């Protein structure tokens, strides 16, 4: 049976981590040729090893999504390896504790913490699109999926800049969907709820039981459950879908 992404080339940022790595394995299962980008070169290489072990094709790229030149180089590398860029999953991101803002209310965030959060989680997504879109226009189309969050839809105490960045990602997604609709480029977002990755380990250890009370499914999501949605959005099966933000959250946003 044909794979849903047979012959497509795909770039995944943050591909060395939980959601990015799981999505890479799903894309490979569906026949995509992959470029795995991550700020951690070792993490990207580990994902490539797992994809290759599963019979897929992948190359690793290093690069911080906050640096325009690095992002441009990433896209150039994908195009020189695979000839085109069909799918881009702009997924790299960080949590509050990674900018020393864990547990802090709005007025307690340091200026530097706020700026770094916006640089990675919002500007990084914009920079990726900025360099992906011209390539997709030149080749006649493409699909972009950005990683939002339930934090892009509601407020979450002590997550000030994270929430602001994720709301911004959804704004960028909808705007690009409108701007490039006639260029045959679809732009969508996925909004994960609480997912089992390194990012949530610490929070879950401290407040897992309390948080799961608010999730109708009473469990965390698995990274693969996000990856399946991203794969569908990057496939031709979602051909009439653009500017959409899909919640994959065990029912969290239905309350
Ligand atoms: N885990 C969750 O519950 C959850 C919920 C909603 C949204 N998200 C979002 O999902 C995305 C992936 O997160 P995850 O849960 O897989 O976390 P993760 O920490 O496992 O993976 C994130 C990856 O991004 C990489 N990264 C961080 N900063 C980078 C940068 N500047 N440039 C390039 N790569 C960088 C990291 O090295 C890591 O491999 C993030 O955007 C996150 O905000 C996660």
For the chain, give every domain's residue range: 9-194+224-246
Residue 1 scores a pLDDT above 90: no
- Calculate mean pLDDT across residues 25-47: 98
Q: Is the CB of 60 under 6 A from ligand 1?
A: no
**Are the C-beta atoms of residues 11 and 87 closer than 8 Å to each other?**
yes
Q: Which two tokens stand for residue 248?
A: 């994959």
Residue 139 scores a pLDDT above 90: yes
Its pTM stands at 0.99
Q: How far is the CA of 239 from the centre of ligand 1 (A)?
A: 27
**Are the C-beta atoms of residues 28 and 106 closer than 8 Å to each other?**
no
Residue 55 scores a pLDDT above 90: yes
124 to each of 28, 31, 76, 108, 196, how far by Cα in Å? 24, 27, 17, 24, 23
Neighbours of 154 (CB within 10 A): 12
Residue 73 scores a pLDDT above 90: yes
How many percent of the chain have pLDDT more than 90?
A: 98
Burial grade of 155 (CB within 10 A; 0-12, 13-18, 19 or more): exposed
Q: How far is the CA of 48 from the centre of ligand 1 (A)?
A: 17
Calculate the average pLDDT of the chain.
98
**Are the C-beta atoms of residues 38 and 14 closer than 8 Å to each other?**
yes
Superfamily of domain 9-194+224-246: NAD(P)-binding Rossmann-like Domain (3.40.50.720)
Q: How far is the CA of 146 from the centre of ligand 1 (A)?
A: 12
- Calculate mean pLDDT across residues 84-105: 97
| Pocket probe mutation, ligand 1, options 91, 93, 169, max atoms within 8 Å of Cβ | 93
Q: Is the CB of 200 under 6 A from ligand 1?
A: yes
pLDDT-based confidence at residue 63 (cuts at 50, 70, 90): confident
Residue 212 has phi, psi (to 5 degrees) of -70, -25
């Amino acid at each position: 049976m044909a794979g849903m992404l047979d012959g497509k080339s795909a770039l995944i940022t943050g591909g060395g981590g939980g959601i990015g790595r799981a999505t890479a394995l799903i894309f490979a299962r569906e026949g995509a040729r992959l470029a795995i980008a991550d700020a951690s070169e070792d993490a990207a290489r580990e994902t490539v090893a797992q994809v290759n072990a599963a019979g897929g094709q992948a190359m690793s790229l290093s690069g911080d999504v906050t640096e325009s030149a690095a992002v441009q180089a990433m896209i150039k590398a994908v195009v020189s390896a695979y000839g085109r860029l069909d799918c881009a999953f702009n997924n790299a991101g960080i949590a509050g504790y990674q900018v020393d803002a864990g547990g802090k209310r709005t007025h307690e965030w340091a200026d530097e913490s706020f700026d770094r959060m916006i640089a990675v989680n919002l500007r990084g997504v914009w920079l990726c699109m900025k360099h992906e879109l011209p390539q997709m226009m030149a080749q006649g189309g493409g699909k972009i999926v950005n990683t939002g969050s339930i934090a892009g839809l509601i407020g979450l105490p002590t997550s000030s800049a994270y929430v602001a960045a994720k709301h911004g990602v959804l704004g960028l997604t909808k705007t690009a969907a409108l701007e490039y609709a006639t260029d045959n480029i679809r732009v969508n977002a996925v909004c994960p709820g609480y997912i089992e990755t390194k990012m949530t380990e610490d929070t879950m250890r401290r407040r897992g039981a309390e948080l799961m009370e608010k999730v109708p499914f009473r469990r965390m999501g698995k990274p693969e459950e996000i990856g399946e949605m991203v794969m569908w959005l990057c496939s031709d099966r979602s051909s009439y879908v653009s500017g959409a933000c899909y919640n994959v959250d065990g029912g969290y946003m239905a309350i």
